Structure 1
């Protein structure tokens, strides 16, 4: 069988059957449905199901080529994954320890806490780790589409498995869900929330009668808004209830060292360049993405990772290249 993937080649009936069998094997191994494969391979559902069942009246060879491309990409991804080192989902750093201590404070007392800082300093990583390793912790991530009160409540209901559909009763259902749980609500990307939504957070905290904590996590605008408006009616009730406030604009040098050590990097020049990347916009996240891409470039070339791979990866990742004098 001609194994070069492509949709412009012609397959024999036997080759189409072989591709169909390979697809079936992957579906059984990975637990994929026909709808899953249709979506992942980018083939219309009706077209794929007809081809898969052998009833498609169109160009079966073309569909087989599209399926083969998808199957080939799966193999390449698996091969790269086996050759690329995987790190734990959470690596403890001085900053993440401080963030988790604040979350624990809000959880145990319970209190309202604010964690505000620049992008890429591992705030979200710390929140995800805390949510994974503690009971009755609900992590909801906001975005511009969920900035209002209703959007906030919908996000909270989803992570709490609250099934109330009536918008007017949603807040009460969420309050009933958390009251008495001694839990913690973590709201990430909280800078998106409107004044009304923030006041809704305060209302949920109050109506839980001191049995659930709240953590507002986001960029520095979160704390700036609350502090700057703390005496205004719309913010005073919330700001006065904040027990712990953490603000950090940049990663610490110790954070960079902890991540570099986790990757097993000892070359002084590589460490210098990686720390320079971590001081730029994107911070630790930018450093980690660069290092992951550099590793993939080295794996693809079949050679050990070098500083040239790191510089090449950063050049691809950012328009601001790390010069030798950084």
Structure 2
């Protein structure tokens, strides 16, 4: 890629970018508004540039700068396309032991129970639960964020997950709306990264579960803080005793299982014994299967760049490269 500040914006250069942008817009069907953010110019400006009327000039009075920005956009697209060709496609969902455990707990919770799933990052629990929502009716996946500080934010997140994207109103109105939406559904609410939920939000969830008019399952998913804040090892535990007393099952997945690394290797088409052994070792470390995915992406790219079949050598090199470790000879 070339630094656009090093390019001399001659009339020929400006004309080339203008013609390319006109052709690109026609080929993609993008509107000028759609092109605003990628290029960094207002749609009206881009339209005027392509029409040769920007600042009443075709090649000067600011046209040069716009042409440079269009060229930068072109370079970005080209680099992304080259990476797309070299980089591998990440396989779709593949079933692992951890995913089966997560889906089994979700099935249990959807019977109107409260469940807690604790797992270290990268073991595959989230992927398993998202897959469950794709298979089961009325199962909703809510990803909790640290910015969710209020009951209002919680209610909006739940309603959006249920398809109500224009959720507005007071916290009480929104909470009643949630209850109304849950009627006659035997639904399951899965709260991922539930460690971000505060006491008030957890108590609101308990209130939904206690509603006599509905049957709803609740699954709280996250790190060890999710269980510790209810089980008595956190200073918030006394305030959550009522919710904890309703938990019917807690499941802990401490790390990725060796067979999960084998399943991931098979999904990627990796059959080399040394490669699978390395992936098992990576999966046993913090980061688990997620780290394996990142490593495989780099390894496949390395192998393709060398015109070679993927082997353990490429995976070891990729893992070392990602961790900034020297590669053993």
TM-score (norm: length of structure 2): 0.85
- Any residues of structure 2 matched to 1:11-26 within 5 Å, and which? 11=9, 13=11, 15-26=13-24
- Any residues of structure 2 matched to 1:1-326 within 5 Å, and which? 6-11=4-9, 13=11, 15-30=13-28, 32-43=30-41, 47-57=45-55, 58-107=61-110, 109-162=111-164, 163-168=166-171, 169-207=173-211, 209-228=213-232, 233-319=238-324, 321=325
Structure 1 CA distance, aligned partners of 2:292 and 2:161?
30
2:118 match: secondary structure? strand
Count residues in correspondence: 320
Shift of 1:153: 2.0
Q: Which runs of 5+ in 1 are unaligned?
A: none
Residues 190, 234 of structure 1: CA spacing in aligned structure 2 closer, same or farther, 3 A cutoff? same
Which piece of structure 1 moves more, 42-51 or 145-154?
Answer: 42-51
Structure 2 CA distance, aligned partners of 1:180 and 1:202?
18
8 Å contact 2:133–2:139 — kept in the other structure?
yes
Structure 2 CA distance, aligned partners of 1:119 and 1:282?
6
8 Å contact 2:116–2:221 — kept in the other structure?
yes
Residues 182, 16 of structure 1: CA spacing in aligned structure 2 closer, same or farther, 3 A cutoff? farther
Residues 47, 314 of structure 1: CA spacing in aligned structure 2 closer, same or farther, 3 A cutoff? farther
Residue by residue over 1:193-230, the C-alpha shift from the partner in whole angstroms, topping out at 9 and shown as x without a partner, is 11121111111222264422111111121122222269
Residue by residue over 1:236-284, the C-alpha shift from the partner in whole angstroms, topping out at 9 and shown as x without a partner, is 2211222221111111111111101111212222222222221222111
TM-score (norm: length of structure 1): 0.85
1:145 match: secondary structure? coil
Shift of 1:13: 4.8
8 Å contact 1:112–1:241 — kept in the other structure?
yes
8 Å contact 1:96–1:122 — kept in the other structure?
yes
Shift of 1:24: 4.2
Residue by residue over 1:131-187, the C-alpha shift from the partner in whole angstroms, topping out at 9 and shown as x without a partner, is 233332221111211144333223223222433422231111111111222221111
CA RMSD of aligned residues (A): 2.9
Which piece of structure 1 moves more, 155-164 or 261-270?
Answer: 155-164
